[in-house]
Amino acid sequence: HYLARSLRCGKSYTLGLVIADISNPFFANIARVVENEAKRFGYTVFYGSSDEDAEKSFDLIDMLINRAVDGFIIVPTENSQPKIRYLLEENIPFVLLDRFFPEIQTNYVSTNNYQASFDACTHLLEMGYKNIGLLGYESALHHMKERIRGYEDSLNIHGVQANAKWLRKVRIQEIGVKTREAIDEMLSSDQPVDAIIFCTYSLAVNSLKYINELGLKVPEDLGIVSFGQAELFDLYQCPITYIMQQMNELGKKAVEILIQKIENPDLLTQQVLMQATLIKRASSRKKELKQAKKSSN
């Protein structure tokens, strides 16, 4: 009946979903939310993973256009602006999810990354940490810049003079080796870090392995806060404080906006920023308490 229905009204009742990295639990879960939500509206979802590669995302989008999808939900990669502009020019309905380009007027649903990062850094300062590092990606993407800006502003506002070695950025393609180097640099500075904020789940996973190898204890030697929620954060010997993005709401809202746009092409652009929540666990426990414990032993 799908074919009959699409022939009658010129729609395929399919949506294209292009995510950044299917191996990341955040995107895998969002894909499931999008699929379930689309189904409620009678749509099927075709999806693929760009693996953070602009060319690959272009190929996926072209392939899905050829399959006559009615619209797209896209987690854009770095340097994918030309394709986003193309979709706009061709009046193909789409919503950017999790990331967007502030210089291009598009529908998007994302997290307030600036606030999330600001809150994470402020929390560590309130817990008594003084030398707070941040590990992010070397990236021109807006959400990554916002996570860095929130961290820097929190240090500034709280009167902390940041050390240049506290902020490290690695290229996503070299995450294995470079993460270790970055942590070495943070720890070997004349003011070694006593806490680290990780900008992504993958950075946290790679780093925590290395922190274990170094024999460092969390949170005694190093306080930790990370973006991204995942089972791994519960399994780690010390439950990790993390920034929880509203995965279900992000996915549902993206589908809702897209279907509204498909049904009413003249609809005004909708831009939604959702607040993340800091889930406080043992990895960012108060610093004074730990020192008090040590002296009483």
pLDDT computed for residue 58 by the predictor: 97
Does an H or E element contain 25, and which? helix 25-40
124-139 pLDDT per residue, tens:
999 999 999 999 999 9
Question: Closest Cα partner for 113 from 4, 274, 248?
Answer: 274
pLDDT computed for residue 236 by the predictor: 81
pTM over 0.85: yes
Are 222 and 216 in contact by the 8 Å Cβ rule? The answer is: yes
- What is the helix, strand, coil percentage profile of the chain, to 5? 50, 20, 35
End-to-end CA distance of the chain: 73
Q: How confident is the model at residue 229 (pLDDT cuts 50, 70, 90)?
A: confident
54-86 pLDDT per residue, tens:
999 999 999 999 999 999 999 999 999 999 999
Give the C-alpha distances (Å, rounded to integers) separating 40 from 17, 135, 265. Answer: 16, 39, 21
Give residue 94's identity as a one-letter amino acid code: F
Decide the pairing of beta strands 271-274 and 108-111: parallel
Q: How far is CA 6 from the centre of its chain?
A: 35
Enumerate the β-bridge partners of residue 16: 46, 72
Q: What percentage of residues in the chain have a pLDDT greater than 90?
A: 85
Q: How confident is the model at residue 289 (pLDDT cuts 50, 70, 90)?
A: low
